[in-house]
Amino acid sequence: MIFRLLITGNRGFIGTNFTEFALSEGHFIVGYDALYKEANLDIDFESPNYYFFCGNITNKTSEILNILIKYKITHCLHLAAQSNVDKSINTIEPFIFDNIVGTYRVLEACLEYQRKNPDFKLINYSTDECMGSLGEEESPWTEESPINPNNLYASSKASAALLGLSFYRTHKLNVITTYSCNLFGRYQKDKLIPTIIKKVLAKEPVGIFGKG
C-alpha cells in the first residue's frame, strides 16, 4: 500500500532519514519544516513524489489543513520539535511554542481533516524522557507507565503527548503517540555521539560529563 504522508520537521535528523526511506519505498511525501539551523539543507530529495513547504507548525492551523486537503494526505508523521535538553534549561519559551502550541495546531488541523477523511491517521513522535528516569533495579517502562518528566524539554513533550491523548479521548482523533529512546545515525548534529566522533577525528579532547 502506498501512503501519502505529511512529515513535519522532515529536515531534521529523524525526518531526513525517514523521508529518504519512505521515498525509496515509493510513498508520496510532503515535507514541512521551519528550517532552523539544525536542518539538513544539503540533502536533495530528487523525486516526483516529494514536495516541500517551509513553515512553522505554530502558524495558523489552516496552513497545515490546506496541505492535508490539497495533497490528499493519508498519514501525518509529526516530528517537528525543539529537542535540545540543555537549551531548554535557560530558554524554555521556544519549547513552549514549538512543542506545545505547535503540536496543538497540528492536532487541530488533523482533527478538522479527519472529519471528512475518517481513515486518516496522525503519528505524534515523542520521547521516553516524558517518563523521567529509571534506576538500575527498576523495570523497563510500559505503555501504562506514568508521565513523570525531569526537565523542561521533557515537560514540553509530555504536554504535547497529553494533548494528543485528550484529542483522542474527547474528539476521537486517530492519533498514536510513540515514546522512543535516544537515536543516532546519519545526518545527526550537535548530539553526544556525533560530537564525540568529530572531536576524535579532529584529535581534540573529549569532555567528560558528570561521572562519565
How far, in Å, CA of 48 to CA of 68, rounded? 18
Written as nine digits, the cell of 44 is 536533495
Known active-site residue 143: no
Q: Which of 33, 98, 108, 129 is catalytic?
A: 129
Closest CA to 16 of 209, 185, 200: 185
| Backbone dihedral angles phi then psi of residue 6, each to the nearest 5 degrees | -100, 125
Closest CA to 156 of 201, 89, 63: 89
Known active-site residue 63: no
Q: Which of 128, 137, 143, 190 is catalytic?
A: 128
Q: Which of 153, 168, 190, 204 is catalytic?
A: 153
Beta carbons of 80 and 107 less than 8 angstroms apart: no
Known active-site residue 50: no
Q: How open is the CA angle 142-81-122, to the nearest 5 degrees?
A: 60
Positions annotated as catalytic residues are 128-129, 153
